[in-house]
Structure 1
């Protein structure tokens, strides 16, 4: 399983989350939801799902009898779906950013 593209995408998403976190306003102080922390938490969950699936896959490949193929496949699919969802969120954020930057002031 080639994870270079996944790692690159996660790096880009983390950089975006860090940039959003450094520019956050008083939304959390006013009792609102803190978008940067929500995004960072989502990125962390996606990363953990990817790492867990990869570890299970390696355990199965090495012949560990505690890991069965069904669990490996389910975890790989869950990790894949969560990553695809994060990519779609990133695409929407980029699109929204471009729309805002193209607005006439």
Structure 2
């Protein structure tokens, strides 16, 4: 029996796995948030390294998400994975991660351009 179009135990397991990923990312953001004031007190290089590290971690996470989506899609094409919902969920997650990265890049570029237009 399915609930709301989600099939059996596999659907629930993927939802629980996604929930755990959200919780893990939330915990990581909390750690970054609490570590930021500590790095600000260490000196001028601290915040820049913190921002660079956070950006690098975010990009690595997007890269891993896209690689996972690609591997699941290829496994589906080979007939190894039969759960279409799992494939579509992975592809959608990769799409959302890429879109968020693109929007972040656009905002950073806009902020850079605004700073460059400022008078001295």
- TM-score when scaled to structure 2? 0.60
Q: CA deviation at 1:27?
A: 4.2
The equivalent residue for 1:35 is 51
Q: CA deviation at 1:38?
A: 0.3
Question: Higher helix proportion, which one?
Answer: 2
Structure 1: 4+ residue segments shifted above 2 A: 26-33
Give the alignment of 1:56-71 within 5 angstroms.
56-64=72-80, 66-71=81-86
- Measure, in 2, the Cα distance between the counterparts of 1:27 and 1:72: 42
- Measure, in 1, the Cα distance between the counterparts of 2:55 and 2:73: 27
- Measure, in 1, the Cα distance between the counterparts of 2:53 and 2:62: 14
Runs of 5+ consecutive residues of structure 2 not aligned to the other structure: 1-38
Runs of 5+ consecutive residues of structure 1 not aligned to the other structure: 1-25
CA RMSD in angstroms comes to 2.0
The equivalent residue for 1:87 is 102
Number of aligned positions between the proteins: 79
- TM-score when scaled to structure 1? 0.68
| Relative contact order higher in (CA < 8 Å, ≥ 6 apart) | 1
Compare CA radii of gyration and give the structure with the larger one.
2
Q: CA deviation at 1:74?
A: 0.3
